[in-house]
Amino acid sequence: MSPDDGTAGRLPPAPAAPDWSLDEFRQSAEKLIRVRSINPRGFHTIACQVHGQDTGLRPVVCVHGLTRHGGDFQDLAEVLGARRRVICPDLVGRGASDWLPDASDYHVAQYNCDLTAVMAATGCDEVDWVGTSLGGLCGIMMAGMPGSPIRRLVVNDVAPEVPVAALRRVSTYLSDPLRFADYTDVEPHIREVYQGFGPMNDADWQQMARTSVYRDTDGGYAPHFDPGIGENFRRYWLLYHFSLWSYWKRITCPVMIIRGTGSDFLTPGLLAQMLEHQPGAQVLELDGVGHTPVTNHPSVSGPVRDWLDAT
């Protein structure tokens, strides 16, 4: 196509609005395996995307943030999947996984129960772990427990404690109405809520918007997570001092820490404190990025791959 036809420099067309309900999405999502797990009130199903081939190398489990899903690791999984299996679950209450009947059961201990079931179902006796935000907290707790299956831990932009200011910010956006009458409202909301994400370009934001919602019964759009997660977050996380330092101090496996220099979750002071207890940890900092660095970007996926290959 010639450069003077009026198309030079234009972005490709934005992805179309998703035209699936939550049930349709759960039934048709590709590359999924489904794992049965247990909660205090019954059983539920965890959906996982599995990438790559079993080459004998240790598989990687990638765990997403509070209101995200396993699809956030698509590009990282392709990079790592060239040499190993990569398992990307949707935590319960997110993506294609079931929602819990009681929102008070959305907590790290439940998630790690589910993730243990995922590892058992996929034949993983030992794993490497990449955890973003909440996924990093899950990894810290699991890696610091006796008999942990985690052999290498990548913690993306979170510390064993979360600053109150960051918790307050998350609580604020979880208080917003969780429905969009029109799809054109989705991307601006995503850009606002996740403004610290990076590096991100326009195409990345468009794709993130499309994979963040489903069509609800009234013809509008709703996020791919249970609103009860926000209710539980507001009810408990701001009332108690959340600390996983005892687990962090007990971790014996190699650790990589990723941090955005503008992060309100992993501040310079918290990073220094983490390194006091894990002085051998590898640190990757991204300038101009807040909470959280995007693992799909080559500036993150390349160093993660290289670190896993070298340690």
CATH number 3.40.50.1820 is the correct assignment for the domain at 28-310: yes
**Band of residue 7 on the pLDDT scale cut at 50, 70, 90:** very low
| Residue 105 or residue 231, greater confidence | 105
Strands 32-39 and 42-51: antiparallel
| Residue 8 or residue 247, greater confidence | 247
Runs of H (alpha helix) within the chain: 22-28, 74-80, 108-121, 134-143, 164-174, 186-193, 202-210, 227-232, 245-250, 268-277, 298-310
The domain segmentation of the chain, as residue ranges, is 28-310
Per-residue pLDDT, 219:
85
| Residue 19 or residue 249, greater confidence | 249
**pLDDT tens column, 261-271:** 999 999 999 99
> How far apart are the C-alpha atoms of 92 and 41, rounded to whole Å?
14
Q: Lowest-confidence range among 10-19, 31-40, 144-153, 156-165?
A: 10-19
**pLDDT tens column, 64-79:** 999 999 999 999 999 9
Q: Are 285 and 259 in contact (CB under 8 A)?
A: yes
Calculate the average pLDDT of the chain.
90
Q: In what side-by-side order are the strands of the sheet with 32-39?
A: 32-39, 42-51, 86-89, 60-63, 127-132, 150-156, 255-260, 282-286
| Mean pLDDT across 223-228 | 92
Per-residue pLDDT, 19:
60
**pLDDT tens column, 111-125:** 999 999 999 999 999
> How far apart are the C-alpha atoms of 309 and 311, rounded to whole Å?
6
**pLDDT tens column, 159-176:** 999 998 999 899 888 876
DSSP 71: G
Q: Are 193 and 170 in contact (CB under 8 A)?
A: no
Would the pTM count as exceeding 0.85?
A: yes
| Mean pLDDT across 1-26 | 48
**Band of residue 230 on the pLDDT scale cut at 50, 70, 90:** confident
Q: Which of 47-56, 181-190, 257-266 has the highest mean pLDDT?
A: 257-266
